[in-house]
Amino acid sequence: MDGTGRMKVDRVTLAHGGGGRAMRDLIEGVFTSVFQPPGGEDQARLMDAALKEPGARLAFTTDSFVVTPIEFPGGDIGKIAVCGTVNDLVVGGARPLWLSAAFIIEEGTEVALLRRIAASMQAEAQAAGVRIVTGDTKVVERGKGDGVFVTTAGVGVIPAGRDLGAAHIAAGDAVLVNGYVGDHGAAILAARGDMALDTDLISDCAALGHLMEAVLAAAPGTHAARDATRGGLASALNEMAAEAGVSVELNEDALPLRPEVRGICEILGLDPLYLANEGTMVLFVPQDQAAAALAAMRSRPQGRDAVQIGVAKNGLAGRVSLRSSFGGARIVDMLVGEQLPRIC
Amino acid sequence: MDGTGRMKVDRVTLAHGGGGRAMRDLIEGVFTSVFQPPGGEDQARLMDAALKEPGARLAFTTDSFVVTPIEFPGGDIGKIAVCGTVNDLVVGGARPLWLSAAFIIEEGTEVALLRRIAASMQAEAQAAGVRIVTGDTKVVERGKGDGVFVTTAGVGVIPAGRDLGAAHIAAGDAVLVNGYVGDHGAAILAARGDMALDTDLISDCAALGHLMEAVLAAAPGTHAARDATRGGLASALNEMAAEAGVSVELNEDALPLRPEVRGICEILGLDPLYLANEGTMVLFVPQDQAAAALAAMRSRPQGRDAVQIGVAKNGLAGRVSLRSSFGGARIVDMLVGEQLPRIC
């Protein structure tokens, strides 16, 4: 898997998807030389002692990523593909172990871009403690794709005794977030450039495994967590409240919103509660463990700005409302259409 | 997950990718109502007793599928996505258990097409004994994709004591295939229509798990197997011979080639050894177990036309040659460019 110097062309051609030597050069030169997956077969062969433990379960998830621009302040499609899939595992209480990575590449895409994406994925995987163990590349004709799409799948292990899920949420639970809301969506919007928005916003894109382990150690009674990606905090809360059969009351003053995010939303008529996040999760924790969970989060970079934003109540099942500082309240409904295409 | 009637529109819009209610309707109405994945969280939670057994290993693989046309004689992109990933697990000796399915859908794609793809995936998964347990959908603007791309990842279990791999191939091994070569590539080519090729060819697209278990029961000394997909039989054999450090000598007269495939290749100047297959695998089996392996295959529909096509030798490592009925021999090299874009 010595890939150095194998790829002598600057741009991907259809031949790189054909199954022959050109494809092998692309895969080895750009991807496997960086990821260093185990073995030479079409499948990775793996085992982790934790999976053998009585009561342990396997967690399995996937996401495709089509974010545009492919590179943005705070990340790129590769980083988001690793973080997004890791976080899908993490919010269910799983310890992430292994990722797959499949690339659909448009003819003409710069090989240098692919190298940056691979490096970004590998760096993020190492930080999150996971390995990229298997993958695939396909090439489509110019105009039949858009640069590169990345699909990751992830496998992790849920230790015995852990059972996080929206069904466990109870009235009285504190609703926590680990940090600012809407940064990713606003950063992508600004990065697209067609709005002439000049900001220093960066995506919150981050893997949350270590943070989640800290929360579960400090607040073992934690009922449920979800990463508030596409559809934003509002969609995550609506789904969870409906599944749990509770209502959720948010306190507008407590919502951690950066002034730049607030500003972009005001200019464009967007609601930050629907903006995508890629490193922000929402947690439902029994109120008597909320302080411990917050303290655990605040001691880590990804949770420095953790805060309680609301409470679960015995109200209309599935209703999420936002109470303002003036005493009024409005319903925060499920997003119907979409605010921003290709946000992740 | 009652999806009936949820999708009231005929075509996918960008709103179906936005993370809100429209997306949920698409996912529930078209995909999860068919796949019926367990649980409501972003991850599937799974366990299989076989994974707990001492010495058992987990197998993990992924492939993206961009085949065009999306529907073709003998299958569609959904069937190929299930079969391809199942077969990647199977040729390593794994029993396939679970699949993920991620869809990148172009705006304007017909919902009816997605329904046919989902039904096809579910039917093939059931036949192969696997479950589609987790998934994702993304929508891209018109002209930034091409109908639908599907990425599947698969998890299976390799029982203790099984260790198939090219490294185990030994000089003297019989080289077997389970059936006709090149059907998929030729069928796709004919289906594209721009060649005015009128044939009855259908893709060989099939999941090979049950067949492989039959082979391993009858010929437990089997050294290695690989599905001869993109790049064809020639590429699979070149890779395996190089990894094993043997040469492979094929007997041209023994190669199972349909007259229509031979005809298409003659007209277009293609070599059937490089045509993609989606239900044909090549196996290296000790010569004294070859008859048993062939008999086991021939008793099943996917192996009815199984035959020995060559032998591994102590020759130049990695060299694959084809000996013709006239006594001449030619080198069958690794494919350099590509014969057919988007064959899978």
Beta bridge partners, B62, equal B153
Mutant choice from B13, B21, B41 vs A, greatest count of A C-beta within 10 A: B41
Closest CA to B97 of B56, B65, B138: B56
- Fold held by B166-331: Phosphoribosyl-aminoimidazole Synthetase; Chain A, domain 2 (3.90.650)
For an interface test with A, the pick among B26, B46, B144, B284 (most A C-beta atoms closer than 10 Å) comes out as: B144
Q: How many helices (H) and strands (E) does chain B have?
A: 10, 14
Interface contact A59-B45, CB threshold 8 A: yes
B235: tokens are 């590429």
A133 Cα to chain B: minimum distance (Å) = 8
Residues of A in contact with B148 (CB under 8 A): none
**pLDDT average, residue stretch B218-235:** 96
Q: Are strands B329-331 and B320-323 parallel, antiparallel or unpaired?
A: antiparallel
Q: Does the pLDDT value for residue A20 go beyond 90?
A: no
> Angle, to 10 degrees, between the axis of helix A209-218 and the axis of helix A287-298?
140
Q: What is the structure's pLDDT at B188?
A: 94
Q: Is the ipTM of this complex over 0.90?
A: yes
- CA neighbours within 13 Å on the CB side: how many for A241? 30
SS (H, E, C) A139-163: EECCCCCCCEEEEEEEEEEECCCCC
**DSSP state letters, A283-299:** EEE-HHHHHHHHHHHHT
pLDDT at A312: 98
| Range from A266-275, A303-312, B201-210 carrying the lowest mean pLDDT | A266-275
Q: Quick one: chain A helix, strand, coil %, rounded to 5?
A: 35, 25, 40
In chain B, the residue whose alpha carbon lies closest to the alpha carbon of A67 is B140
Average pLDDT of every residue of chain A = 93
Given B20, B43, B139, which is nearest A59 (Cβ)? B43
**A232–B337 C-beta distance less than 8 A:** no
Q: Using CB atoms, pick whichever of B21, B58, B88 lies closest to residue A335.
A: B21
With tokens 């002598």, the residue in question is A8
Helix (H, G, I), strand (E, B) or coil at A330: strand
Domain range summary for chain A, segments of one domain joined by +: 14-158, 166-331
> Can you give the pLDDT at residue A193?
78
**B170 three-state secondary structure:** coil
Closest to B59 (Cα-Cα) out of B23, B96, B30, B31: B96
Decide if B138 and A62 are in contact by the 8 Å CB cutoff.
no
User: Measured between beta carbons, which residues in chain B are less than 8 angstroms from residue A343?
Assistant: 19
Condensed to tens digits (0 to 9), the pLDDT of residues A6-16 reads 577 899 999 89
Q: What is the pLDDT of residue B337?
A: 63
Instruction: Report residue B263 as tokens.
Output: 């005809």
Report the distance separating Cα B28 and Cα B34, nearest Å.
Answer: 8
Under an 8 A CB cutoff, do A24 and B334 touch? yes
Over range B191-215, report the average pLDDT.
89
Residue A4 has pLDDT above 70, yes or no: no
- Work out the end-to-end distance of chain A between its first and last CA atoms, rounded to an integer number of angstroms: 31
| d(C-alpha A316, C-alpha B190), whole Å | 58
pLDDT at B4 over 70: no
pLDDT on residue A334: 85
Asked if B70 contacts B148 with a C-beta cutoff of 8 angstroms, the reply is: yes
- Do residue A66 and residue B101 have CB atoms under 8 angstroms apart? no
Cα dihedral across residues B222, B228, B232, B235: positive or negative = negative
- Nearest residue of B to residue A47, measured between CA atoms: B57
The mean per-residue pLDDT over the stretch A270-277 comes to: 94
For B14-41+53-158, the fitting CATH number among 3.30.1330.10, 3.20.20.70, 3.40.50.1820, 3.40.720.10 is: 3.30.1330.10
* Residue A5 confidence (pLDDT): 47
Amino acid identity at B31: F
- Of A181-195, B49-63, B78-92, the one with minimum mean pLDDT is A181-195
> What rounded mean pLDDT belongs to chain B?
93
If you average pLDDT over residues A112-141, what whole number do you get? 97
Residue whose entry in the numeric block shows the structure tokens 């304007």:
B108
pLDDT of residue B234: 96
CB B128 within 8 A of CB B82: yes
**CA separation, residue B55 to residues A51, A52, A284, B160, B165 (Å):** 12, 10, 39, 4, 17
The whole-number average pLDDT for the span B106-121 is 98
CATH fold for domain A14-158: 60s Ribosomal Protein L30; Chain: A; (3.30.1330)
Task: Give the whole-number percent of chain B exceeding pLDDT 70.
Answer: 96
The pLDDT value given to residue B47: 92
Nearest Cα to Cα of residue A153 among A91, A84, A224, A212: A84
Q: A52 vs B52: CB contact, 8 Å cut-off? A: yes
Q: How far apart are CA A78 and CA A117, in angstroms?
A: 5
Distance from CA of B42 to the nearest CA of A (A): 6
Q: What is the pLDDT of residue B2?
A: 39
Shortest CA distance from B232: residue in chain A: A19
Contact at 8 Å (CB) between B63 and B84? Answer: yes
pLDDT band at B335; cut points 50, 70, 90: confident
Residue B33 has pLDDT above 60, yes or no: yes
pLDDT of residue A340: 80
**B337 vs A22, A133, A156: nearest CB:** A22
A101 or B189, higher pLDDT: A101
Rounded to a whole number of angstroms, the distance from the CA of B240 to the nearest CA of chain A is 9
Burial level of A301, CB count in 10 A (0-12/13-18/19+)? Answer: exposed
As a whole number of Å, the end-to-end CA separation of chain B is: 31
- For the record, the structure tokens of B125 come out as 């998964």
SS3 category, A58: strand
Least-confidence region, from A134-138, A284-288, B20-24, B271-275: B20-24
pLDDT score for B6: 59
Q: Can you give the pLDDT at residue B198? A: 76
Distance CA B273, CA B302 (A): 19
Mutation target among A53, A151, A163, A226 for the B interface, most CBs of B within 10 A: A151
With CA atoms as reference, the chain B residue closest to A64 would be: B102
Mean pLDDT of B286-294: 98
Question: How many angstroms separate the CA atoms of B97 and B125, rounded?
Answer: 10
Binned at pLDDT 50, 70 and 90, residue B338 comes out as low
- B137 to chain A, minimum CA–CA distance in Å? 7
CB contact under 8 A, B66 and A334: no
Q: Which two tokens stand for residue B229?
A: 């997909």
Instruction: Pick the closest to residue B309 from B266, B342, B277, B265 (CA basis).
Output: B277
- The identity of residue A66, as a single letter, is V
Nearest to A46 among B43, B57, B232 (CB): B57
Give the count of beta carbons closer than 10 Å to the beta carbon of residue A314: 11
What confidence score (pLDDT) does residue A131 get? 97
Using an 8 Å CB-CB cutoff, list chain A residues near B56: 47
B95-106 vs B131-140, strand pairing mode: parallel
For B151, which of A19, A64, A92 is closest by C-beta distance?
A64
Check CB contact under 8 Å for B63 and A18: no
| Chain A residues in contact with B139 (beta carbon < 8 A) | 341
Q: How far apart are CA A239 and CA B200, in angstroms?
A: 49
CB pair distance less than 8 Å for B335 and A136: no
Q: pLDDT category, A37, cuts 50, 70, 90?
A: very high
Q: What is the pLDDT of residues A127-140, one digit of tens each?
A: 999 999 999 999 99
B28 DSSP assignment: I
Cβ-Cβ contacts under 8 Å, A21 against chain B: 334-336
In angstroms, the CA B284 to CA B236 distance is: 12
